[in-house]
């Protein structure tokens, strides 16, 4: 394996590790924050007649689920490797279409006339 490939693998692994670390940190903050919010509502008497802590915790849980989905599903399948392969595929398709178009224009004589005109202007 070439050093460049090893470096790319290292950078990708490092990026994934940072994403997971961020998610785990988010989970710990969620747990601590949820306990704090429950304490505020139930034990410190901030609007104790309503169970507003449920809505806050459920909203935060929803955000945590989205974060988890992003780290383990979306970035796993649509990461840098996927971007690189997709980009290479699109470039290859574009090159094939360009070659086809050039052949079609040469067949009609349009491309060869333009090339001759460019050659004539360069010699002047």
DSSP 51: -
Q: Is 48 helix (H, G, I), strand (E, B) or coil?
A: coil
The predicted pLDDT at position 74 comes to: 84
pLDDT band for position 56 (cuts 50, 70, 90): very high
Q: Map 52-72 to HEC letters.
A: HHHHHHHHHHHHHHHHHHHHH
Which sequence spans correspond to the domains of the chain? Answer: 3-78
Q: Is the pLDDT of residue 42 over 70?
A: yes
Average pLDDT of span 43-69: 92
pLDDT at 62: 97
User: Which range among 40-49, 58-67, 76-85 shows the weakest confidence by mean pLDDT?
Assistant: 76-85
Query: What pLDDT digit, counting tens, does each position of 86-116 carry?
Result: 888 989 999 999 888 888 888 887 766 555 5
Q: How confident is the model at residue 76 (pLDDT cuts 50, 70, 90)?
A: confident
Cα 85–100–116 angle (5° rounding)?
A: 125
pTM higher than the cut 0.85: no
């Amino acid at each position: 394996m070439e050093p460049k490939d090893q470096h790319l693998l290292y950078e990708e692994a490092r990026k994934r590790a940072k994403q997971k670390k961020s998610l785990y940190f988010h989970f710990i903050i969620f747990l601590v924050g949820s306990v704090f919010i429950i304490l505020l509502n139930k034990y410190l008497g901030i609007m104790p007649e309503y169970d507003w802590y449920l809505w806050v915790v459920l909203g935060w849980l929803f955000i945590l689920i989205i974060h988890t989905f992003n780290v383990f599903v979306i970035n796993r399948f649509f990461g840098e490797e996927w971007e690189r392969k997709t980009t290479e595929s699109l470039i290859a398709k574009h090159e094939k279409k360009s070659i086809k178009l050039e052949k079609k224009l040469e067949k009609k004589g349009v491309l060869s006339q333009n090339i001759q005109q460019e050659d004539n202007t360069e010699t002047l």
